[in-house]
Amino acid sequence: MRGADASGYLALGAIAVLAALRLLRLGVALLLVLKLCGPIIAAVSLVAAVLLDLDWLTRIGALFGVVLLWHWPVLAAVLFAAPRLFTMLPGTIAMLLARIRHPRPLWQPLAAGPASPRRGS
Protein backbone atom coordinates (compact mmCIF):
# COMPACT_ATOMS: atom_id res chain seq x y z
CA MET A 1 0.00 0.00 0.00
CA ARG A 2 2.87 2.36 0.65
CA GLY A 3 4.21 2.00 -2.90
CA ALA A 4 0.88 3.04 -4.39
CA ASP A 5 0.75 6.15 -2.22
CA ALA A 6 4.30 7.12 -3.14
CA SER A 7 3.64 6.73 -6.87
CA GLY A 8 0.54 8.89 -6.56
CA TYR A 9 2.54 11.65 -4.89
CA LEU A 10 5.25 11.29 -7.53
CA ALA A 11 2.68 11.65 -10.32
CA LEU A 12 1.13 14.66 -8.60
CA GLY A 13 4.56 16.25 -8.24
CA ALA A 14 5.34 15.65 -11.92
CA ILE A 15 2.06 17.25 -12.96
CA ALA A 16 2.78 20.23 -10.69
CA VAL A 17 6.26 20.67 -12.23
CA LEU A 18 4.84 20.53 -15.76
CA ALA A 19 2.15 23.08 -14.87
CA ALA A 20 4.79 25.37 -13.35
CA LEU A 21 6.94 25.06 -16.49
CA ARG A 22 3.97 25.96 -18.67
CA LEU A 23 3.17 28.99 -16.51
CA LEU A 24 6.82 30.05 -16.59
CA ARG A 25 6.85 29.84 -20.40
CA LEU A 26 3.67 31.90 -20.53
CA GLY A 27 5.21 34.48 -18.21
CA VAL A 28 8.38 34.79 -20.28
CA ALA A 29 6.36 35.17 -23.48
CA LEU A 30 4.24 37.81 -21.75
CA LEU A 31 7.37 39.70 -20.67
CA LEU A 32 8.61 39.73 -24.27
CA VAL A 33 5.31 41.05 -25.62
CA LEU A 34 5.16 43.58 -22.78
CA LYS A 35 8.63 44.89 -23.62
CA LEU A 36 8.05 44.99 -27.39
CA CYS A 37 4.42 46.11 -27.71
CA GLY A 38 3.22 47.55 -24.42
CA PRO A 39 0.82 46.56 -21.66
CA ILE A 40 -2.48 46.62 -23.59
CA ILE A 41 -1.31 44.30 -26.35
CA ALA A 42 0.40 42.10 -23.77
CA ALA A 43 -2.84 41.74 -21.81
CA VAL A 44 -4.84 40.97 -24.94
CA SER A 45 -2.27 38.44 -26.13
CA LEU A 46 -2.23 36.76 -22.70
CA VAL A 47 -6.01 36.38 -22.72
CA ALA A 48 -5.96 35.12 -26.33
CA ALA A 49 -3.18 32.62 -25.61
CA VAL A 50 -5.01 31.21 -22.60
CA LEU A 51 -8.51 31.14 -24.09
CA LEU A 52 -7.52 29.84 -27.53
CA ASP A 53 -4.89 27.44 -26.13
CA LEU A 54 -2.13 28.78 -28.40
CA ASP A 55 0.65 26.74 -26.85
CA TRP A 56 2.83 26.85 -29.97
CA LEU A 57 2.70 30.65 -29.96
CA THR A 58 3.57 30.70 -26.27
CA ARG A 59 6.55 28.42 -26.92
CA ILE A 60 7.83 30.68 -29.70
CA GLY A 61 7.38 33.73 -27.48
CA ALA A 62 9.19 31.99 -24.62
CA LEU A 63 12.04 31.00 -26.94
CA PHE A 64 12.58 34.54 -28.20
CA GLY A 65 11.96 36.01 -24.75
CA VAL A 66 14.63 33.89 -23.10
CA VAL A 67 17.13 34.63 -25.86
CA LEU A 68 16.44 38.36 -26.20
CA LEU A 69 15.68 39.32 -22.60
CA TRP A 70 17.80 36.92 -20.55
CA HIS A 71 20.54 36.31 -23.17
CA TRP A 72 20.44 32.52 -22.91
CA PRO A 73 22.20 30.43 -25.57
CA VAL A 74 19.86 29.24 -28.31
CA LEU A 75 20.23 25.53 -27.45
CA ALA A 76 19.27 26.14 -23.81
CA ALA A 77 16.35 28.30 -24.93
CA VAL A 78 15.07 25.57 -27.25
CA LEU A 79 15.39 23.06 -24.41
CA PHE A 80 13.34 25.41 -22.20
CA ALA A 81 10.68 26.23 -24.78
CA ALA A 82 10.26 22.82 -26.45
CA PRO A 83 11.86 20.03 -24.42
CA ARG A 84 10.20 17.21 -26.41
CA LEU A 85 11.87 18.41 -29.59
CA PHE A 86 15.08 16.61 -28.70
CA THR A 87 13.26 13.29 -28.24
CA MET A 88 11.33 13.66 -31.51
CA LEU A 89 14.24 14.86 -33.63
CA PRO A 90 15.99 11.48 -34.20
CA GLY A 91 12.79 9.85 -35.47
CA THR A 92 12.05 12.78 -37.76
CA ILE A 93 15.56 12.69 -39.23
CA ALA A 94 15.33 8.90 -39.72
CA MET A 95 11.99 9.29 -41.50
CA LEU A 96 13.36 11.96 -43.85
CA LEU A 97 16.44 9.88 -44.62
CA ALA A 98 14.24 6.84 -45.33
CA ARG A 99 12.23 8.89 -47.83
CA ILE A 100 15.46 9.84 -49.58
CA ARG A 101 16.81 6.29 -49.59
CA HIS A 102 13.52 4.66 -50.60
CA PRO A 103 11.62 7.09 -52.84
CA ARG A 104 8.10 6.38 -54.03
CA PRO A 105 7.85 4.62 -57.39
CA LEU A 106 7.57 6.78 -60.51
CA TRP A 107 5.09 4.62 -62.44
CA GLN A 108 1.39 5.28 -62.45
CA PRO A 109 -0.92 2.89 -60.61
CA LEU A 110 -2.81 0.42 -62.77
CA ALA A 111 -6.40 1.16 -63.64
CA ALA A 112 -8.96 -1.11 -62.05
CA GLY A 113 -9.83 -4.04 -64.28
CA PRO A 114 -13.25 -5.57 -64.83
CA ALA A 115 -14.88 -6.90 -61.73
CA SER A 116 -14.19 -10.57 -61.26
CA PRO A 117 -16.78 -12.86 -59.73
CA ARG A 118 -16.16 -13.75 -56.13
CA ARG A 119 -15.22 -17.26 -55.28
CA GLY A 120 -17.74 -19.18 -53.31
CA SER A 121 -20.76 -17.18 -54.38
State the total domains in the chain: 1
Write down the pLDDT at residue 2.
Answer: 61
**Would you say 66 and 28 are in contact if contact means Cβ atoms under 8 Å apart?**
yes
Write down the pLDDT at residue 121.
Answer: 55
Does 1 score more than 60 pLDDT?
no
In a domain, 71, yes or no: yes
In a domain, 42, yes or no: yes
In a domain, 120, yes or no: no
pLDDT higher at 65 or 108: 65
In a domain, 55, yes or no: yes
pLDDT higher at 7 or 1: 7
In a domain, 114, yes or no: no
pLDDT, tens digit, 9 for 90 and up, residues 13-33: 999 999 999 999 999 999 999
pLDDT, tens digit, 9 for 90 and up, residues 50-102: 899 899 999 999 999 999 999 999 999 999 999 888 899 899 999 999 999 88
Write down the pLDDT at residue 27.
Answer: 94
Q: Closest Cα to residue 44, out of 55, 33, 59?
A: 33
- Range(s) of the domain holding residue 76: 29-101
In a domain, 34, yes or no: yes
In a domain, 110, yes or no: no
End-to-end CA distance of the chain: 61
Query: pTM above 0.75?
Result: no
- Res. 106 pLDDT band, cuts 50 70 90: confident
In a domain, 78, yes or no: yes
CA distance 53 to 58: 9
CA distance 26 to 51: 13
CA distance 25 to 28: 5
Q: Closest Cα to residue 80, out of 36, 24, 119?
A: 24
